[in-house]
Amino acid sequence: MDEAFALLETHGDDAHLLAGGTALVLLMRLGLVLPGHVVSLRKIGGLREIGILPSGGLEIGALVTHAEIEHSALVQRFFPPIAEAFGRVATARIRNQATAGGNIAHADPASDPPPMLIALDAELVIARRGGIRTLALAEFF
């Protein structure tokens, strides 16, 4: 993560983060966003995991795809409505590429997962240089 933070600091507004790429790549193809630098998050450890928190809540890493959430045995067993909802988002191609974190960070008002996650009182764990903070998803939007 330190390398990603350093790249963002070095390049400022000229750098964009890349998770699954469904939104960013489309915006780039349309010429609506033309970053000088794209910082991929793919090799950052821990962002592709799904787990159960000690509190009993569900933890979904930022780089977990919609399809991985849909097909996760853990999500299907303990949180079936979430698995079902993520299985109904967009097309199979999009579900296999789009990430939970990218979907939220893009903040598209037409996106399906955020309203459901807000209704479930979801929280974001936001990393930045120097530490992390937790924010209610409702406050993010």
Model confidence over 3-40: pLDDT tens digits?
899 999 999 999 999 999 999 999 999 999 999 999 99
Distances, alpha carbon 120 to alpha carbons 50, 60, 114, in Å: 17, 14, 10
pTM listed for this prediction? 0.90
Which pLDDT band, with edges at 50, 70 and 90, does 136 fall under?
very high
Total domain count, the chain: 1
Identify the pLDDT of residue 129. 84
Output the domain CATH number for residue 21: 3.30.465.10
Distances, alpha carbon 65 to alpha carbons 6, 13, 72, 82, 128, in Å: 26, 26, 10, 13, 22
Range of the domain at 129: 2-140
| Count of positions (residues) in the chain | 141
Query: CB count, 10 Å around CB of 85?
Result: 19
- Three-state DSSP class for 83? helix
Which pLDDT band, with edges at 50, 70 and 90, does 130 fall under?
confident
